[in-house]
Structure 1
Amino acid sequence: MKYRSLGPEFEVSALGLGCMPMAGIGRGMYGEANVDEGIATIQRAIDLGVTLFDTAEIYGPLVNEELLGRAVRGRRDRVVIATKFGFRYDENGMTGVDSTPDNVRRACEGSLRRLGVETIDLFYQHRVDPNVPIEDTVGAMARLVEEGKVRRLGLSEAGADTIRRAAAVHPIAAVQSEYSLWERDVEGDILPVLRELGIGFVPYSPLGRGFLTGQIKTRDDLPEGDYRRNDPRYSEENFGQNLKIVDVARSIADAHGASPAQVALAWLLAQGNDIVPIPGAKQRRTMEDSMAAAELTLSAEDLRRLEEAAPRGGTAGPRYGEKALSMTRL
């Protein structure tokens, strides 16, 4: 594994591991998961030199953090734990956003218990709460840093102005947003602001929710009830157009003796040394395939072909439905 810096004195593995698919999500999100295999996947990733592990309170809710806590027990000194807060939820699932100072503290205390740690390495606001000034939210997060409960702060899917306002209150170590060969909008205003401010970038869904792995060749490959059947980019009218990106990635992969997933991740790594993607996995075999991308170097010709196949704005369909999209870039 290779390593990168997300900011001053914050070194992590060049690829982190997204733990969301491992527990508490259900078969409607990336298929069935096995808790024991999830724990084995995390522990194998640690053995491979992966240090950054990403979870969230809302994943489950709650049980995903518990799984990660179990997996890293006895290995705490080898991992960087990132978790997220900011949603309201009940027994029926998510009910809205809540980044009030009281909820920031409640969420942190709960995450610490579930993870079984004394300090969260990277604490993200999961989505911006339009009803709470970002200064109030980050101020509450900063107090957790002062108390030793959190080491570094992050934001997820925040807009450029929000990032600037947040960084004026307390240093922001990382911003998380979707970024991949088929989702490049962050190149417009988000990445330039992060680089101006010295903030690291953590792309989630770097494999296009599985599309860029090349394993999904038709919509029929998705299990019944899988939420991706309602994803605009997986729709009947867009699927074939977007498959052209995978065809180019597969051609490049074949030339390197690699997988399309490794090509997609290597492309992201080539976009800057301040970028640390977090591909999700729930099995050791897919995690191992993804992490091998850290050793793959694409040629200038490879990058040119991918740029031609997947220009910014060239993907067919929006990345989310209207409701989910309305919660981004606030």
Structure 2
Amino acid sequence: MISQSFDIAGELRVRRLGYGTGMLTGLGYWGPRLEPEEAVTVLRRAVERGVTLIDTADNYGPDIAEELVAQALHPYPDDLVVATKGGVVRTGPNLWHIDGRPERLRVMCEASLRRLKTETIDLYQLHRIDPDVPLADQLGTLAELRAEGKIRHIGLDTVTAQELERALEITPISSVQNRFNLLDRESTPVLEMCQERGLAFLPWFPLGNGALARSDLPEVARRHGATPAQVALAWLLHRSPVILPTPGTGSLAHLEENLNAAAIELTPDDLVALDL
């Protein structure tokens, strides 16, 4: 059987299948998607179903996703890990501007603390490395915030293996969040590095549309009485014990479907078929 849990940084135990909040915001991650009461219901149901890892970001909305997390779940259960991200500024739908200046990272982190109504963020991820700011300055700021007790652990989003290696030379890193799914495996070297070093790997776009179009995916799904999306999530859970998928949805029905994927045990033949 596959492991259902993982210890981030060796101390934050989470169920591997979590929940991402991006789909609680509108098109282009801008504005609200649902009425606040609907979003709160989805978040609370995720936790009721045993989710212990919520992944969000300050720029989802912007601000909206973090505010909804606090509205739905604060005061947070002792076993709930809330991860957020900073380092990107939004000016409109699908408009993203990287800003890794130390003073801006500090302002972003402290604003997330206020919105999430917490004194410490369990996992704070640098949403993108700013090419115009020395990496040591960006990670040095996050390390300072960690020393101040405002961050428990530091993560990275969208990095190469070389960038991860450089980051690890500067400060301890607990997680990486890269795009990865059945058809998009470009980040395999980063995943392998995370597995070697015991770092959590949070795949974004875990249900990429291309993956669901595979001709062999529906057949595997039929054998398990599952949906293709469930098999795509099950494949991630089988692919590596450090993978922590956090699929997002604003639908209670889709939430239940996604979380039920954790019960699917793929066979060796299934895995061979899906890896062709």
TM-score (normalizing by structure 2): 0.92
> Are 1:143 and 2:144 counterparts?
yes
Tell me the equivalent position of 1:324: none
Tell me the equivalent position of 1:223: none
Tell me the equivalent position of 2:8: 6
Given that 1:4 and 1:12 are in contact with CA atoms closer than 8 Å, whether structure 2 keeps it comes out as: yes
Post-superposition CA distance 1:165-188 (Å, at most 9, x none): 21122211100011111211111x
Distance (Å, rounded) in 1 between the aligned partners of 2:123 and 2:42: 21
Aligned length: 273
> Are 1:257 and 2:225 counterparts?
yes
Q: Secondary structure at the match of 2:89?
A: strand
Tell me the equivalent position of 1:316: none
Given that 2:15 and 2:51 are in contact with CA atoms closer than 8 Å, whether structure 1 keeps it comes out as: yes
| Cα root mean square deviation, aligned | 2.1
Tell me the equivalent position of 2:268: 300
Q: Secondary structure at the match of 1:50?
A: coil
Distance (Å, rounded) in 1 between the aligned partners of 2:195 and 2:39: 34
TM-superposed deviation, 1:28: 8.1
> Pairwise mapping of residues 100-139 of structure 1 onto structure 2 (< 5 A)?
100-139=101-140
TM-score (normalizing by structure 1): 0.78
Given that 1:135 and 1:165 are in contact with CA atoms closer than 8 Å, whether structure 2 keeps it comes out as: no
Given that 2:23 and 2:29 are in contact with CA atoms closer than 8 Å, whether structure 1 keeps it comes out as: no
Tell me the equivalent position of 1:16: 18
Distance (Å, rounded) in 2 between the aligned partners of 1:175 and 1:198: 11
Tell me the equivalent position of 1:190: 190
Tell me the equivalent position of 2:27: 26
Given that 2:58 and 2:86 are in contact with CA atoms closer than 8 Å, whether structure 1 keeps it comes out as: yes
Tell me the equivalent position of 2:46: 45
TM-superposed deviation, 1:119: 1.0
Given that 1:201 and 1:276 are in contact with CA atoms closer than 8 Å, whether structure 2 keeps it comes out as: yes
TM-superposed deviation, 1:158: 1.1
Given that 2:87 and 2:127 are in contact with CA atoms closer than 8 Å, whether structure 1 keeps it comes out as: yes
Given that 1:22 and 1:35 are in contact with CA atoms closer than 8 Å, whether structure 2 keeps it comes out as: no
Distance (Å, rounded) in 1 between the aligned partners of 2:46 and 2:4: 13
> Using a 3 Å threshold, how does the CA distance of structure 1 residues 66 and 260 change in structure 2: closer, same or farther?
same
Given that 1:250 and 1:260 are in contact with CA atoms closer than 8 Å, whether structure 2 keeps it comes out as: yes
The one-letter code sitting in structure 2 at the alignment partner of 1:265 is: L
TM-superposed deviation, 1:190: 1.1
Q: Which has the larger radius of gyration?
A: 1
Over the matched positions of the two proteins, sequence identity in percent amounts to 37
Distance (Å, rounded) in 1 between the aligned partners of 2:77 and 2:168: 28
Given that 2:52 and 2:80 are in contact with CA atoms closer than 8 Å, whether structure 1 keeps it comes out as: yes
Given that 1:173 and 1:199 are in contact with CA atoms closer than 8 Å, whether structure 2 keeps it comes out as: yes
Q: Secondary structure at the match of 2:203?
A: strand
Distance (Å, rounded) in 2 between the aligned partners of 1:250 and 1:91: 37
> Pairwise mapping of residues 168-207 of structure 1 onto structure 2 (< 5 A)?
168-187=169-188, 189-207=189-207
Distance (Å, rounded) in 1 between the aligned partners of 2:15 and 2:36: 24
Tell me the equivalent position of 1:77: 78
> Using a 3 Å threshold, how does the CA distance of structure 1 residues 284 and 92 change in structure 2: closer, same or farther?
closer
Tell me the equivalent position of 2:66: 65
Unaligned runs of 5+ in 1: 215-242, 309-330
TM-superposed deviation, 1:197: 3.0
Tell me the equivalent position of 1:162: 163
Tell me the equivalent position of 2:251: 283
Distance (Å, rounded) in 2 between the aligned partners of 1:275 and 1:99: 26
TM-superposed deviation, 1:193: 2.3
TM-superposed deviation, 1:6: 3.2
TM-superposed deviation, 1:196: 3.3
Given that 2:53 and 2:80 are in contact with CA atoms closer than 8 Å, whether structure 1 keeps it comes out as: yes
Post-superposition CA distance 1:185-206 (Å, at most 9, x none): 111x212322333322111110
Q: Secondary structure at the match of 1:38?
A: helix
More RCO (CA 8 Å, sep 6+): 1
> Using a 3 Å threshold, how does the CA distance of structure 1 residues 145 and 301 change in structure 2: closer, same or farther?
same
Tell me the equivalent position of 1:231: none
